Amino acid sequence: LLVVARDDRRIAALAAALAFFAEDVEIVEFPAWDCLPYDRVSPRPDIVARRIHTLTKLATRPPGAPPVVVLTTVSAVIQRVAPPAKFAEAVREISPKAGISRDSLIEYLERYGYGRAETVMEAGDYAVRGGIIDLFAPSHDMPLRLDFFGDTLDTIRSFDALTQRTIGTLDSFQLEPIGEITLD
């Protein structure tokens, strides 16, 4: 079900009402860019990350999944997006058991729009320091630190970007592209 609202405040109110009245329905928000197409500035990375997360979630929904309500604005509806198959094929499940190598992970990050940085601060950044790759995936609130032992992923930890201290450990996570357009 697609629900179109006039602005973000109304979307927040609709999300709260739906969460109260329809607990079994999954609610996802699809925001519009905060700039015009072909403008000199790019959309904010956090908005792009939320859009990508919604698009990949919709593209990878299994058959028979519970109902989903997409809350969006008119501006977001009229913006063109890539076909769902492009988002479905770009999603990777990352875990120590998945057998992803350090080099193939860096290749994925470069292909799907992540930017290399000295320090990971916002969605779409990644940094490489020896056997450690820090990255900020759009589906996570905190950056992740992937520790490789040789060419094998050993651990996945979330950390605070300001203090660089570990917050928790993850068994796996879903890696999504950071850009809506793949330059291949």
pLDDT confidence of residue 80: 81
Question: What average pLDDT does the segment 35-50 reach?
Answer: 74
Give 133's pLDDT tier (boundaries 50, 70, 90).
very high
Residue 11 confidence (pLDDT) above 80: no
Question: What average pLDDT does the segment 127-145 reach?
Answer: 89
Measured at the CA of 84, the angle between CA 73 and CA 126, to 5 degrees, comes to 85
Residue 37 confidence (pLDDT) above 70: no
pLDDT confidence of residue 147: 94
* pTM given for the model: 0.74
Question: What average pLDDT does the segment 4-21 reach?
Answer: 77
By the 8 A CB rule, do 69 and 27 touch? yes
Measured at the CA of 10, the angle between CA 61 and CA 83, to 5 degrees, comes to 30
Count of helices and strands (H, E) across the chain = 5, 11
Question: What average pLDDT does the segment 111-135 reach?
Answer: 90
Partners of residue 175 on adjacent β-strands: 92
Percent of the chain past pLDDT 90, that is, above it, reads 17
Q: Is 21 left (phi over 0), alpha (psi -120 to 50) or beta?
A: alpha
Question: What average pLDDT does the segment 72-96 reach?
Answer: 84
Question: What average pLDDT does the segment 81-100 reach?
Answer: 85
pLDDT confidence of residue 155: 92
Question: What average pLDDT does the segment 110-130 reach?
Answer: 89
- Per-chain mean pLDDT for the chain: 84
